[in-house]
Structure 1
Amino acid sequence: MSGTDPHNTPAPEAHDDAWAEPAATAVLVLADGTVIKGIGLGASGHAVGEVCFNTAMTGYEEILTDPSYAGQIITFTFPHIGNVGTNEEDIETVSMAGASGVRGVVLHSSITDPSNYRATRNFDQWLKARGIVGIAGIDTRALTALIRDKGMPNAVIAHAENGVFDMAALKQEAAGWPGLVGMDLVPMVTSGQRFTWDETPWEWGKGYGRQEAPAHHVVAIDYGIKRNILRLLARAGCKVTVVPATTSSEDILALAPDGVFLSNGPGDPAATGEYAVPVIRDIIDRGIPTFGICLGHQMLGLAVGGRTTKMHQGHHGANHPVKDMTTGKVEITSMNHGFALDRDSLPGTAKETHVSLFDGSNAGIELTDKPVFSVQYHPEASPGPQDSHYLFDRFVDLIAKTKRAA
């Protein structure tokens, strides 16, 4: 042995840069003052909104461009978000360049380089381009558990490359934000003008097609409509005219629709219903076949005398089982809603057709005296993958039946 004293052996030279905890460049500040630190991604800056969690394992691009998420900060429970990159074909906002209204995104793992033949852009670059603030390195399971226990909190998400934040100001902003109850967010996501739609769904090796021989004319009221809803209406044989959310019933009737579609959208249905419900009521009173999805479903319920309530944690994900009470079949559905229709408030003319098998909440109704129905989930989102596409055929069959009886 050498003469060195083993007790005085110097510590090995530190080469631990790779093991060092990275400095926090993003924070999620909850309304109760809780501060969660992580690594910033996407756009720099800050945004305030309601934090929800989404359990989908795929479809993050579609989720982040779904206008129904306006006003919300999305926490993905699946850890590997961004691994297939993004492309220009999967955006759901009608305006390809338009903001969807989502306030931020919370991830467990850092974004990796994309590994998919359809990818055209890295997810982080895409978030920057769309102005979405993100944070990674978060224990999303703990955050999800918090939401399940305490409900969806208001929060501020902030990203600064230098890691410097005015915590007092962020806490004040989070605590002072009024929340989604009573908030009409539809004006920020609806179309500014009327337009027609003829694009049909994507097919392998072909891309998107075109509707060439429509049999029916459907007017779609845009409360934050998704592109794939319009595609499935077109595939079902409909010429589709999309109108802004504030369009009057007189202007809708002037278009001579065979049917009216009430779209999905964000915010409190009671707030949007201040101007939307009278229009919906006039349409259904005239016996026009009507089909509603999500916000459209909720406001249809309001139009017939029901009421809506704020949910504790909401339904956000692509794995929600729903039973169709008219057929007895169970569908695996995509859901995105923080408000629900109270079945006990509905009149006798509103029959419950669908029920969530997660919590028993209402997921669909139809009117017994009018050609009208709606569902609380997204039948176009294809998690099943096509379990719920029959609803578009059901709508078209209802239109055809009504036209034959005229």
Structure 2
Amino acid sequence: MENKRKAILMLEDGTRYEAYHFGAPVSSSGEVVFNTAMTGYTESMTDPSYRGQILTYTYPIIGNYGIPSFSCSESISEFYESDRIQVSGLIISYYSNRPYHWNMSLSLSDWLSKNGVPGLSGIDTRFIAKKLRKKGGSMLGKILMENENLPFYDPNQENLSEKVSIHEKITYGNGKYKILIVDFGLKNNILRCLLRRNCTIIRVPWDYDFTNEKYDGLVLSNGPGNPKIYEKPIHYIRIAMKKERPIFGICLGNQLLGIAAGGNTYKLKYAHRSHNQPVLSLKTGKSFITSQNHGYVLDAIKLPKEWKIFFKNLNDDTCEGIIHDYKPFFSVQFHPEASSGPTDTEFLFDLFINSIVRRNK
């Protein structure tokens, strides 16, 4: 039987929603955002890009397949995108309290409790999504238990990578191609995709000075928050660009590469958080369905003429990637590694490796 303990969702405009509580019996505050995906809640909730956010799912039934076991390969979790839940809270319409899956080790509620994260159910999440869309895709909000209160918290005002990035250099694999990854809030599936492509990966913290490191290719990872906060790594990226080794940016990495190249960023009126975002390659004319999770986007208008838009979003025409005319630099705003979501654009990892092969000939 579903838990009938009541709790409150309060938004910054004063709107209050009474709901049923599950997960950890604690209050929490953050940026309320919504995701329209039908599956993949384990991956989304452990995605460091969601740090500081209260995630609202518009799909009506969440939790029906539970949570998989925490098993590792190469010290990388097989099913999680980081080593913990990153969201500050979860809001869903109906909590499926009788989950079943052959690989299930915990229910969603037990997993939330174990990680100290509250959940709310019994809310019309599609109505919440419509409200959030009118406010730019997000609003500050808080989940309140009985007789508790918290101030509103805006995660965009601080450097969240300090909280989700590693603190010391880590090496994975023993492959042919030496890849340096700057971890701004790295998803594990980026590591998996590169390890499958015969790579040795050197993972470094978000503020690490990598300008004197030896590597074949540089990856700028996804991560949370406002890209303009990351002044130190943007400086290092500009230095790296002068060496002309291949660079591949993903999500936040796309924005940071764009800023380093001379572009700008702004916050989207309607954020992109779903598995069904269509993008068009301006190089091939082909369209792809992509997984996305971002509230900021690159304004490519001010980029130097040798930079071109690589992909654009077919819903709102925003920039979904950039590419240099003759240097081996490119980046995308969506998630080619997926997890969760479609894998239509995983070929971009092959494009990156091929640019290394060409340069090393």
TM-score normalized by the length of structure 2: 0.93
Offset at 1:383?
A: 6.1
Does residue 193 (structure 1) correspond to residue 173 (structure 2)? The answer is: no
The 3 A distance-change label for structure 1 pair 90 and 388 is same
Tell me how far apart the structure 1 counterparts of residues 67 and 313 of structure 2 sit (CA, whole Å): 31
Counting aligned pairs with the same residue, the percent is 39
Equivalent position of 1:165 in the other structure: 147
Q: Compare 327-336 and 179-188 and name the one that shifted more.
A: 179-188
Deviates more, 1:42-51 or 1:55-64: 42-51
Alignment map for 1:302-381 (pairs within 5 Å): 302-381=259-338
Amino acid at match of 2:277: H
Corresponding residue number in structure 2 for 1:91: 80
| Unmatched segments (≥5 aa) in structure 1 | 1-17, 199-211
Kindly state the Cα deviation for residue 385 of structure 1 after the two structures are TM-superposed: 3.4
CA RMSD of aligned residues (A): 1.8
* 1:180–1:22 distance in 2 versus 1, CA, 3 Å: closer
1:50-129 to 2 correspondences below 5 Å: 50-87=31-68, 88=70, 89-93=78-82, 96=83, 98-100=84-86, 102-129=87-114
Match of 1:270 among 228, 243, 246: 228
Match status 1:288 vs 2:270: no
Q: Does 1:226 align with 2:187?
A: yes
User: Deviation per CA, 1:363-401, whole angstroms, max 9, x where unpaired?
Assistant: 010112421100001111156632111000000000111
Task: List aligned pairs for 1:172-187, cutoff 5 A.
Answer: 173-174=151-152, 177=153, 179-187=154-162
Look at both structures and tell me which one has the larger radius of gyration over its CA atoms: 1
Deviations 1:177-232 (A, max 9, x none): 3x34443111000001111123xxxxxxxxxxxxx6x2210001100101110010
| 3-state SS in 2 of match to 1:247 | coil
1:384–1:132 distance in 2 versus 1, CA, 3 Å: closer
How far, CA to CA, are the matches of 1:69 and 1:110 in structure 2? 21
2:4–2:21 contact (8 Å) kept in structure 1: no
Is 2:9 the counterpart of 1:28?
Answer: yes
Aligned-residue offset at 1:24: 5.3
2:328 aligned with 1:389: no
Residue 291 (structure 1) shift: 0.3
Aligned length: 352
Equivalence map 1:30-49=2 (5 Å): 30-49=11-30
- The aligned counterpart of 2:74 is none
Query: Residues 244-266 of structure 1, C-alpha deviation per residue, up to 9 Å, x if partnerless?
Result: 1111033xx33x10001000000
CA 1:23–1:348: 2 relative to 1, 3 Å: same
Structure 1 pair 119–245 and aligned structure 2 pair: CA distance change class (3 A): same
- Whether contact under 8 Å (1:319, 1:383) holds in the other structure is no
Cα distance in 2 between the residues matched to 1:270 and 1:183: 11
**Is the CA contact (8 Å cut-off) linking 2:178 and 2:201 kept in structure 1?**
yes
Are 1:235 and 2:224 matched, yes or no?
Answer: no
Letter in 2 for 1:285: K
Counterparts of 1:218 and 1:304 in 2: how far apart (Å)? 21
The Cα of 1:327 is off from its aligned counterpart by 1.6
Match of 1:154 among 140, 147, 151: 140
CA contact (8 A) 2:40 2:339 kept: no
- Structure 2 vs 1, CA of residues 249 and 23 (structure 1 numbering), >3 Å: closer, same or farther? closer
Q: What TM-score do you get using the length of structure 1 for normalisation?
A: 0.83
Deviations 1:307-331 (A, max 9, x none): 1101123100111111111122111
| Unaligned 5+ runs, structure 2 | 71-77
**Distance 1:114-1:23 versus aligned 2 partners, 3 A rule:** closer
Report the AA paired with residue 215 of structure 1: K
> How much does 1:118 deviate?
1.4
Query: SS of the counterpart of 1:365?
Result: strand
Q: Counterpart of 1:84 in 2: which secondary structure?
A: coil
Select which of 217, 223, 226 maps to 1:259. Answer: 217
List structure 1 segments (4+ residues) > 6 angstroms apart after TM superposition.
Answer: none
1:127–1:197 distance in 2 versus 1, CA, 3 Å: same
Cα displacement (A) at 1:142: 0.8
